[in-house]
Amino acid sequence: MSLRPPGGRVEVLITREEIDRRIGELAAEISSDYRGQSPLLVGILKGSTLFLADLVRRLDVPHEVDFISISSYGNEQRSSGVVRLLKDLDCDITGRDVLLVEDIVDTGLTLHYIRQNLGTRRPRSLRVVALLDKQERREVDVQVEYVGFVIPDRFVVGYGLDYAEQYRELPHVAVMGPDEEAAAGGREA
């Protein structure tokens, strides 16, 4: 299936139905692991918002939500390798069970930075759930406890992921067409 939204072509990689099914499985696993606890889910802005929203609706344990925003891109489509904190947490995580909610883990540089930063704040536990894991591009070893889908080294958009702030609204995960993918370059998290 190909779509031709304004500005380019994308090809569906993971359907909305596959995403729904996998989020249900992840929510069941997370709920089981956090039974008797009240984790703080930390959405990493902006890409994780759709995933986070769908995930929290499926959890059956009490939980809270907060957000953090990190940039390693500046105005580029490829990571500069320099990570900046744009928005910090609103709450203290000392002694809390924290679950980072990430859209995609790519090189691991951003996630490594976030784990180190939040780890200094003495949470009781710090785990990661990522919708997508692009293991082929890993530059640093980062632990991802819950993974939705392992995907190939392709530039993906949709379901919260963007290219130049476009395509986030797609209900599925898609691969950019060859011309658009070449122009977009890589994504890092």
Residue among 67, 69, 54 at smallest CA distance from 21: 54
pLDDT at 81 over 50: yes
Catalytic residues: 106
Kindly report, residue by residue over 1-30, the tens digit of the pLDDT.
Answer: 344 444 556 799 999 999 999 999 999 999
Determine which of 42-46, 77-81, 170-174 has the lowest per-residue pLDDT on average: 77-81
Q: In sequence order, which residues have a C-beta less than 8 Å from that of residue 86 and are 6 or more positions away?
A: 45, 69, 70, 71
> How far apart are alpha carbons 185 and 77 in whole angstroms?
6
> How far apart are alpha carbons 168 and 50 in whole angstroms?
9
Looking at the DSSP bridge assignments, the partners of residue 176 are 10
* CATH tag, 16-72+79-153: 3.40.50.2020
pLDDT at 86 over 70: yes
pLDDT of residue 164: 87
Residue among 75, 20, 9 at smallest CA distance from 53: 20
| AA letter at 74 | G
